[in-house]
Structure 1
């Protein structure tokens, strides 16, 4: 009997590099991501964690290399983006809303501490059923209980074959995760 070959990866990053303002942000990232995988990206501020997540989301293209989902470029229109659930826990103005709508949105959140806002965003993750979660600093301002909740929902998502990318500065306990340390950009 011939040896069993592993299944092809859902996501493949081949020599992914990114330049921004003539500076190398990411260089030669090579990863194979299968179902049930969690990749934990760590690195200093400015090391490219959010940049890599944005490229995985198809929001921007690598300067070199390719990111493939089932052999298709992630920036191409198609089914890939329907599989994504992006969660950036940074409070930013929502570009698709008018200024008045942004003000109303932040008024709604006003008075809620950071931990409650994060829990609302975690609830959104669960409400929108997607295969791939891109989580940018998900444990910022979560208390210990909130962090345990985050770790639990990531574990449950993985059990169902979900793929999770986490960028973080803070320790997070995710069993059998793939750590990926991005090098510091600046000397």
Structure 2
């Protein structure tokens, strides 16, 4: 009898509360090696919060998050889990006075890696800007630089919040190919977007809009 593979990431009835308001509730999802999930829903429906929660910047107010079968609420597990995750959000973190090359290499060296920066810049089509300061880049070039870090610093789980914003059509195709290649190597991607993006064989997770009420206590949900 064939045994089904254990999912790498599981969210079970996850909820998150911030400043006395329920931001997300009862979110369930399962992601296996090589999988992709498309997060859709109106502004304010909790997509970005959910990605930040999966990145370890927030913790669930209720429910469980499991990575490789381990409940992340266990001692020290979040710290180890964060080293497996890349979050690409609205803030690109690009240092204006550092060169394009240094903006990637800094993070690469911080991870104890070396040699991946230039290939990443070449893939994203911005290697010819390597010696220029980050301050001179256009919005699209900044986005390509932000995405280059995914390639230079390998991690299995990509959490991408509106990753195509600022990209031209060629840039979007590069992004789609990046995600495809990542998945072919066993990586996973969760993508929150309002813009159509090509993800092969992906799952859908829809976040409904709701008027979030103030609740006291949380256990009353």
TM-score of the pair, normalised by structure 2: 0.73
Output one character per residue of 1:65-115: Cα deviation in whole Å (capped at 9) or x when no partner.
011102323463453222112211x236x6xxxxxx966369933231111
Offset at residue 36 of structure 1 (A): 0.4
Aligned partner of residue 110 in structure 1, secondary structure: helix
Figure out how many residues of one structure are paired with residues of the other and give that number: 177
Aligned partner of residue 122 in structure 1, secondary structure: helix
Output one character per residue of 1:151-178: Cα deviation in whole Å (capped at 9) or x when no partner.
0000000011101111111111111111
Output one character per residue of 1:5-36: Cα deviation in whole Å (capped at 9) or x when no partner.
31111111110011223322111111111000
Higher strand fraction (1 or 2): 1
Counterpart position of 1:42 = 40
Inter-partner Cα distance in structure 2 for 1:73 and 1:58: 13
Inter-partner Cα distance in structure 2 for 1:123 and 1:129: 11
Counterpart position of 1:56 = 54
Offset at residue 46 of structure 1 (A): 1.0
Counterpart position of 1:161 = 186
Structure 1 gap ranges (5+): 95-100
RMSD: 2.2
Q: What are the residue-to-residue correspondences of 1:1-187 with 2, within 5 Å?
A: 3-74=1-72, 76-88=77-89, 90-91=90-91, 104=97, 108-186=133-211
Contact 2:52/2:58 (<8 A) preserved: yes
Offset at residue 129 of structure 1 (A): 0.8
Contact 2:14/2:63 (<8 A) preserved: yes
Structure 2 gap ranges (5+): 100-131, 213-221
Output one character per residue of 1:119-149: Cα deviation in whole Å (capped at 9) or x when no partner.
1112111011111111111001111100000
